[in-house]
Structure 1
Amino acid sequence: MRPLPNWPYPFWIAHRGGGRLAPENTLAAMRTAARLDYCMVEFDAKLSRDNHVILLHDDTLARTTGDARPAAQVDYLDLARLDAGAWFASEFAGEPVPLLEWIARHNLANGIACNIEIKPCPDRETETGTLVAREALRLWDGATPPPLLSSFAEAALEAARAEAPTLPRALLLENLPADWRLRAARLECIAIHLDAQWLDARVIADIHAAGLRAVAWTVNDPEQARALARWGVDGIVTDALDSMAVQQA
């Protein structure tokens, strides 16, 4: 059994910043997490056409801004004019697509740790991993805890490791393939972030035995969260910020 790596991160992690209470991947989402006393947020980072690091989950802007274009085909000055809040609720109208720099400034000022999911547009895995890691290293220079970089895209994580080897990494998985240990080791990850439906006491113990931390996504049922906590999971990503807030450590 390998020793577990240092894990300076809070147990509860707000999904896409504000979960289902605010427009995802916006400053409004980060403010919502802070208001509910969440000490860690997860959010998605990708590149505009001119290589600014922005927060956005989808490959296209359609769902959250109404603009049908792929993000990879839009310069940031055009992105900045879009409304990323009105789709969620009228009270958030005018909320912009934020730069990673804005999020870093807000969360550092409020003592909120960050899990940056590197979410590259198609065929931009290496470029995105490199630039997100470079920007994270600059923005969180010397900060404790450092941002945790995660991704489903192993090429992006590999590029992030090459660019910023001191920043911790986590491998995101939808299920647990037979070679998960080798994949995590090759990328020098400290954690596996796994769909909660595949986590139980045995799987968590196996992840820990491999010298890795285990984080569950996305858990919105308090009963499931309590079971995962009993089994020894190291973190829970949730959309249900209001339901889970009573369990804050």
Structure 2
Amino acid sequence: MLVTHDNWPYPRWIAHRGAGKLAPENTLAAFRLGASHGYRMFECDVKLSADGVPFLMHDDTLPRTTNAREVLGAGQSAVGGDHPWGELAQLDAGSWHSRTYAGEPLPTLDNIASYCLRNSFYLNIEIKPTPGQDAQTGEVVANEAARLWQGADVPPLLTSFKPDALEAAQAAQPQLPRGLLLDTLWTGWLETALRLECVAIVCNHALWDTSSVTQAKSAGFRTLSYTVNDEWAAQRLIELGTDGIITDRVDLFAPWTR
């Protein structure tokens, strides 16, 4: 389907990095935990390995969420994108969180797509390039998403803080829906989203107020927020009429009752 402002299939509640902080972020284990709390849409970060494999990771570097120093050696680059997938696939991406998840691997976009498609879940893919690889990452992620979701009822929503990444995704697979991520309302944000033919603006939740929501909606955009972990903040966004809430607190917000 073609996702537009008027043809918007995604639910309001979106689980951040799978299950927020309750499981190791950006892993299949986190997705499964988020699903157990009733979530049907997930957000994740995708970047490229040195040999061009899209995989899930938020940080530019590996040590916070993997045992890279132990496996790859102290003398090796800490940047995830500097390593081929064969090396990254050997890493433990769960032990840093808790012993329960020891041995949890880094997933590829292919792994996550298979899980989501088999369970009729929706996905928000944040294109998270290694510095200097904005356009390459946008192109590869868009092409892979188009391949993996070919024939699916609902495509993934591609978002990024990097306009160059979104522009490359737009050029590669213009039919896939895009959203511009914002941590400030920098000069030209609305014009940039229009130029990139985005369907959504995804803001730090504190940036949404009556004025910014009106601007975005008047220009034809859906309005989403990250990362919303307090009831008062969620209620404020609902009262403002925004469309999507990305949260770590899958244990606090029950999407089937709100």
**Could you tell me which residue of structure 2 aligns to residue 74 of structure 1?**
83
Partner residue of 1:210 out of 213, 219, 235: 219
- Residue identity matched to 1:169: R
User: Bigger shift: 167-176 or 138-147?
Assistant: 138-147
Matches within 5 A, 1:1-249: 4-68=5-69, 69-245=78-254, 248-249=257-258
Are residues 175 and 248 of structure 1, via their aligned partners in 2, closer, same or farther at CA, if it must alter by over 3 Å? Answer: farther
Report the aligned-residue RMSD: 1.3
TM-score w.r.t. the length of structure 1 is: 0.96
Distance 2:26 2:49 in 1: 15
Contact 1:38 1:248 in 2 (8 A): no
- Residue identity matched to 1:227: R
Distance 1:34 1:111 in 2: 11
Are residues 201 and 137 of structure 1, via their aligned partners in 2, closer, same or farther at CA, if it must alter by over 3 Å? Answer: same
Distance 2:161 2:155 in 1: 20
Deviation at 1:72, TM superposition (A): 1.4
Q: How many residues align?
A: 247
Distance 1:227 1:196 in 2: 10
Deviations 1:35-83 (A, max 9, x none): 1110100000000001001000011111000325211111111111100
Deviation at 1:202, TM superposition (A): 2.8
Contact 1:12 1:248 in 2 (8 A): no
Deviations 1:177-209 (A, max 9, x none): 231121001111011000001112332122101
Unmatched runs of 5 consecutive residues or more in structure 2 = 70-77
Are residues 117 and 179 of structure 1, via their aligned partners in 2, closer, same or farther at CA, if it must alter by over 3 Å? Answer: same
Distance 2:153 2:212 in 1: 29
Structure 1 stretches of 4+ with a deviation exceeding 2 A read 3-6, 246-249
Distance 1:16 1:106 in 2: 14
Distance 2:191 2:51 in 1: 35
Distance 2:257 2:67 in 1: 35
